[in-house]
Amino acid sequence: MSVTSQFPLAGNVLLLFKSDLRDQQRELARAIERRQKEIRALTDFGPGDVIDASSGNACKENMLASYSQIRTQLRKIERALQRISTGDFGICSVCEDPIGLKRLQAVPWATNCIACQEQSEQGRAH
């Protein structure tokens, strides 16, 4: 299915989405590198007393959680870029209707239209 036939986004709008997503991808890749260096630095930090070890562990856990969140976001962006290249960007993965422009502007990695996303979330809540 082609975006041009199913979704009224002009090619230049898709290029803007692609450019913004690439910028975010680069920024997240740099953030991942920084987190990896910070985690390595904490790991290389020599043994201290029990309090130092405890605060170091808490700091490491926070950095690992942040690292995991950044990796997850990066994967979402990479999948959105893939959908742009395959022509599926902006098409709901459930109903195959167009995802609204406002939703894509807010969440460019969205895979579902608002209605399908709400149904999905309601199904998880019950």
So where are the chain's domains?
3-125
> Residue ranges of the chain with pLDDT lower than 70?
1-8, 45-56, 125-126
Q: What's the pLDDT at 49?
A: 56
Q: What's the pLDDT at 125?
A: 65
Which superfamily, per CATH, for 3-125? DksA, coiled-coil domain (1.20.120.910)
Q: What's the pLDDT at 84?
A: 94
Residue 41, phi then psi, degrees to nearest 5: -65, -40
How far is CA 123 from each of CA 72, 96, 102, 111, rounded to the nearest angstrom? 23, 19, 24, 17
Name the residue type at position 97: D
Q: What's the pLDDT at 46?
A: 59
> Whole-prediction pTM value?
0.78
Q: What's the pLDDT at 12?
A: 87
C-alpha 92/C-alpha 116 separation (Å) is: 8
